[in-house]
Amino acid sequence: MTAVPAGYAPARAESQAAARVVAWWFAPQPVRRVAVLRAVVYAFVVFDMFMLVNDVVPHGYASADLYRPILIPRLLGLPAPTPAYVETLRVVLVVAAVTAATGRLPRAAGWVVAVAYLDWVFLGFSYGKVDHDHLALVVALFVLPLAGRARGEGSSEAAAWTLRCIQVAAVATYFLSAYAKIRHGGWGWPNSATFAWALSRRGTWLGDQLLGYPRLLVASQWGLLVMEFLTPLILFVRGRALACGLALLVAFHAMTYAAIEIHFLPTVVCLLAFVPLERVRRRA
């Protein structure tokens, strides 16, 4: 019998594990899914500028004393915005986003959108409020140009990498949110009155009705925490399990908006990276 070299089995197991990791990240995905997602994301950027993070231009006309840059612009020493700068930034972003959404100059226009939009959210969040629902959207803007033209009906590893990065960023938004709750509030957070406080502060008609059920609110906090910690599972399931996971997340956001008018639209848009968008008719 031929002797098995020492370490052969572990080495083979490691190579198989590495192959599975590479396949998970790079198994070819439909390029058309990236093309449809790209159009949606870049169109949403314009919507976000005018409807959600729409205070950047007013910040340019405010006193520089109000400017408190978040970590990255603070490390880079970026100055407070001026009227001319924010007006120019808005025009550049709109033109580049519209160009990229049509599939023209996907790399050049895409990189312009990525850098300009990152600066846009820096300016929007450096005046006292940071929206963590924009994490996945920023990541999406930096990986979409890597997919290139993304035309045709085939599949590619570049499309797989782009979609995976967006999926991981979207899931990280939920998982890190749960981590932050425990880090800052401890394991007593689920038994706290956080939901009751939010409903009393900005609740809608539905939210006002829920205030009368404190036990339900505490149970909902536990349910939210468990759901957020388990969101990485949707990265590894398919079919009905994936559909149910996505439906649960969308239902959570719908309920949150109905109760306290907080929407998380940027994250919801990025959840489309899990959806077979390539089935959308070309004409549509």
- Look up residue 231 and give its DSSP letter: G
CA distance linking residue 167 with residue 274, whole number of Å? 7
- Residue 282 has a pLDDT of 58
Positions of the chain with pLDDT under 70: 1-11, 13-14, 152, 281-284
Pair 210, 201: CB distance under 8 Å: no
SS3 category, 29:
strand
Q: To the nearest 10°, the Cα dihedral for 19, 22, 25, 31?
A: -100
The bridge status of strand 155-156 relative to strand 29-30 is antiparallel
Please, which residues have CB within 8 angstroms of residue 245's CB and are 6 or more apart in sequence? 231, 233, 234, 237
- Which parts of 88-234 are beta strand (E)? 155-156
SS3 category, 30:
strand
- Residue 15 has a pLDDT of 80
DSSP of 121-157: HHHHSTTS---GGGHHHHHHHHHGGGGTT--SS-EEH
CA distance linking residue 42 with residue 144, whole number of Å? 10
CA distance linking residue 35 with residue 273, whole number of Å? 11
> Exposed e or buried b for every residue in 41-56, given b needs 16+ CB within 10 A?
bbebbeebbeebbeeb
- Residue 281 has a pLDDT of 59
> pLDDT per residue over 229-260, tens digit each?
999 999 999 999 999 999 999 999 999 999 99
Indicate the residue type of 193: A
SS3 category, 208:
helix
Which residue from 278, 25, 21, 35 is spatially nearest to 144, judged by alpha carbons?
Answer: 35
Residues in a beta bridge with 29: 156
Pair 99, 105: CB distance under 8 Å: yes
- Residue 230 has a pLDDT of 96
Output the CA angle 120-63-130, nearest 5 degrees: 40
